Amino acid sequence: MTCPPQSLLLADGSVGRSSLVVVLAEDERQQRLIRRYLYRLGLGPHDIRAMPLPSGRGSGEKWVREQYASEVKNYRARSVHAKTALVVAIDADTGQVDRRLRHLREALAHAGLDPRANAEAITHLVPRRNVETWILCLSGRQVDEVTDYSQSSDVEGLIVPAASTFFEWSRVNTTPRVYCVQSLLSAIPEIRRLE
């Protein structure tokens, strides 16, 4: 069962259903988790545009940082005329979540753009260590944010139910389970920026 479409706050202060959500992610698993979450939010495939993933085996997080300012600029231009949102997913890897968020702020400053405003539907999702940590946590597994779970063999089959759990945990007045890792807990108010 899908929920009714959610509303987004536009730059002019009006509220309405999103006509486009752009997903800027560093890998396919991040994209799939976000896409499945957005489906639960009531959006359809035509409402979501996933940016092409970086080619080769280079640094996905670096690619996201390099694309970020351009996508924020595009979001701001589009949001004046159409309901839009930008979801950015970038792993913290072995560093801290705040470090990745600082990198995103610096990318905007370097491009001469204003910082992200509170009313903007720009969501920053920063799993620590990687998105597999979140997928396993959302599936009820006890995980930590130090261990690399990227090679876990059962992660692929857990993405859809994990996205459903993320949706449930992000509802107002819902308390995530006690085993929820800190970076995922921090993502809940972030993902609510889409509503």
Is residue 9 very low, low, confident or very high in pLDDT (cuts 50, 70, 90)?
Answer: very low
Over 50: is that where the pLDDT of 14 sits? no
Tokens 């792993």, residue? 91
Report the pLDDT value the prediction gives residue 180, as an integer from 0 to 100: 96
Q: For domain 7-194, give its CATH number from 2.60.40, 3.40.1130, 1.10.4030, 3.40.50.
A: 3.40.50
Q: Give the residue-averaged pLDDT of 29-46.
A: 96
E strand or H helix that includes residue 174: none
Over 70: is that where the pLDDT of 76 sits? yes
Q: Give the residue-averaged pLDDT of 55-82.
A: 90
Residue ranges covered by each domain of the chain: 7-194
Over 80: is that where the pLDDT of 33 sits? yes
Q: Alpha carbon 133 to chain centroid distance?
A: 14
50 neighbors 25 (Cβ within 8 angstroms) = yes
Report the pLDDT value the prediction gives residue 2, as an integer from 0 to 100: 38
Over 90: is that where the pLDDT of 120 sits? yes
Which of these ranges, 1-10, 132-141, 149-158, 162-171, has the smallest mean pLDDT? 1-10
Q: Exposure pattern of 56-65 as b/e (b: 16+ CB <10 Å)? A: eeeebbebbb
Would the CA dihedral through 156, 161, 162, 164 be positive or negative? positive
User: Rounded to two decimals, what is the model's pTM?
Assistant: 0.88
